[in-house]
C-alpha cells in the first residue's frame, strides 16, 4: 500500500492502492464553494489525471455535508442596491472547468455523498460517474429558492439520470431528495449506514481500481458520446474503441486469466 497527502488549504488529498480521495474541507460552512475550494478541487482533479498511480478518484466532504453549494456568505458585501451580478461569467471561470474535467477525465470519478449535496454541490455529485450515498445524504436543486436556474451541468446530467419529467419536478420545486428516494429513482447506486459508509466506498472504489483502466476510459468516452451520436456513428465509435481495447495487454490478460480459471492482474497496459 502507498499513501500520500498533498498540501492544500481547503481540501485534503490521499492516494492508497490506486484510489485517490479528494475531501472538501470547509466543514464549518458545510463545504460551501468559494474561490479557493473550486480552484483547489479543479487542480486536484488535474493532478490525479496525470498521476499514473491513480486509477480511481473519490470526491467527498468533511463533517456532516458533501457540499451546500455556493457560499452565499461570500456574496454579502456585493448584494447591495444597484448590484448587478455577472453569474454567467463566474460559472465559466470557476465552476465549468471543474465539471468539464470530471466529465472528460479518463479515470472513473465517484461522488461519496456523506450528507447534503445542494445547489452546485448537487451538480458536482451529478457530474461524477458514480454516486454512493450515506443514509444521511440528500440532494437538493436549491437554485429556484434564490431565483436562479440549475447550473454546473445539472440540466444536462439530471435528466439523463432520472428522466425529463422528474428532473423538471426536482429543479422547479427545489425539494430535498433523501438517500432512499435517490436510490429508488436511479440517482445513486447504493445507500449505506453512516457507520459503514466509508468502508462501502473503499470497497467499491477498490473494485474499480482492480479493473482494466483503458477499458473503463473507453467506455466512459462511448457513453458520453452516445447522447450526440446517431446509431451509425455510435456503432462506428464502438468498433474503433473495441479495436483499441483489443490491442491492450489487459485484454490479453483478461482472456488468458479466464481460460486459466484465475483472477486477472490488470496493469493498465
- Expressed as residue numbers, the domain containing 254 is 213-259
DSSP string of the chain?
Answer: --EEEE--SSEEEEEETTEEEEEE--GGGTT-B-HHHHHHHHHHHHHHHH-TT-SEEEEEESTTEEE-SB-GGGGTTT-STT----HHHHIIIIIHHHHHHHHH-SS-EEEEE-SEEETHHHHHHHHSSEEEEETT-EEE-GGGGGT----TTHHHHHHHHH-HHHHHHHHHH---EEHHHHHHTTS-SEEE-GGGHHHHHHHHHHHHHTS-HHHHHHHHHHHHHHTT--HHHHHHHHHHHHHHHHTSHHHHHHHHHHHTTS-------
Q: Give the burial class of 269: count Cβ atoms within 10 A of its Cβ; 0-12 exposed, 13-18 middle, 19 or more buried.
A: exposed
| CATH number (domain holding residue 249) | 1.10.12
User: Nearest to residue 141, comparing CAs of 180, 170, 178?
Assistant: 170
Low-confidence residues of the chain, pLDDT below 70? 1-6
Q: Does residue 266 form part of some domain?
A: no
Q: What is the pLDDT of residue 4?
A: 43
Q: Is the dihedral of CA 22, 26, 31, 34 positive or negative?
A: negative
Tell me how many domains the chain contains: 2
Q: Does residue 54 form part of some domain?
A: yes
| CATH number (domain holding residue 151) | 3.90.226.10
CA-based radius of gyration for the chain? 19
The Cα–Cα gap between 20 and 6 comes to 11
Q: Does residue 58 form part of some domain?
A: yes
Mean pLDDT over all residues of the chain? 94
For the entire predicted model, the pTM comes to 0.93
Q: What is the pLDDT of residue 268?
A: 84
Q: What is the pLDDT of residue 84?
A: 81
Q: What is the pLDDT of residue 258?
A: 94
The Cα–Cα gap between 51 and 60 comes to 19
Query: Are 120 and 88 within one domain?
Result: yes
Query: Are 19 and 109 within one domain?
Result: yes
Q: Does residue 232 form part of some domain?
A: yes
Q: What is the pLDDT of residue 79?
A: 76
Q: Does residue 267 form part of some domain?
A: no
N-term to C-term CA, the chain: 20
Query: Are 192 and 220 within one domain?
Result: no
Question: pLDDT digit string (tens) for 69-118?
Answer: 999 887 777 777 877 878 899 899 999 999 999 999 999 999 999 999 99
Query: Are 26 and 127 within one domain?
Result: yes
Amino acid at each position: 500500500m502507498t499513501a500520500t497527502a498533498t498540501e492544500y488549504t481547503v481540501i485534503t488529498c490521499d492516494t492508497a492502492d490506486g484510489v485517490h480521495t479528494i475531501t472538501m474541507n470547509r466543514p464549518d460552512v458545510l463545504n460551501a464553494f468559494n474561490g479557493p475550494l473550486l480552484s483547489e478541487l479543479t487542480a486536484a482533479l488535474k493532478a490525479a489525471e496525470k498521476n499514473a498511480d491513480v486509477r480511481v478518484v473519490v470526491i467527498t466532504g468533511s463533517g456532516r455535508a458533501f457540499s451546500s453549494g455556493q457560499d452565499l456568505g461570500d456574496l454579502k458585501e456585493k448584494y447591495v442596491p444597484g448590484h448587478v451580478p455577472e453569474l454567467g461569467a463566474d460559472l465559466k471561470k470557476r465552476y465549468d472547468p471543474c465539471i468539464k474535467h470530471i466529465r472528460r477525465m479518463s479515470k472513473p470519478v465517484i461522488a461519496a455523498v456523506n450528507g447534503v449535496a445542494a445547489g452546485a454541490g448537487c451538480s458536482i455529485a451529478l457530474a461524477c460517474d458514480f454516486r454512493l450515498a450515506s443514509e444521511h445524504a440528500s440532494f437538493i436543486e436549491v437554485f429556484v429558492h434564490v431565483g436562479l436556474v440549475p447550473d454546473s451541468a445539472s440540466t444536462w446530467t439530471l435528466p439523463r439520470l432520472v428522466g425529463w419529467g422528474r428532473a423538471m419536478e426536482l429543479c422547479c420545486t427545489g425539494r430535498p431528495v433523501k438517500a432512499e428516494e435517490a436510490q429508488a429513482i436511479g440517482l445513486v447506486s447504493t445507500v449505506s449506514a453512516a457507520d459503514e459508509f466509508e468502508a462501502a466506498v473503499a470497497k467499491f472504489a477498490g473494485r474499480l481500481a482492480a479493473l482494466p483502466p483503458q477499458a473503463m476510459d473507453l467506455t466512459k468516452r462511448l457513453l458520453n458520446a452516445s447522447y450526440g451520436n446517431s446509431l451509425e456513428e455510435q456503432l462506428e465509435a464502438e468498433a474503433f474503441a473495441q479495436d483499441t481495447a483489443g490491442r491492450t495487454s489487459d485484454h490479453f490478460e483478461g482472456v488468458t486469466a479466464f481460460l486459466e480459471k484465475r483472477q486477472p492482474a490488470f496493469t493498465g497496459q
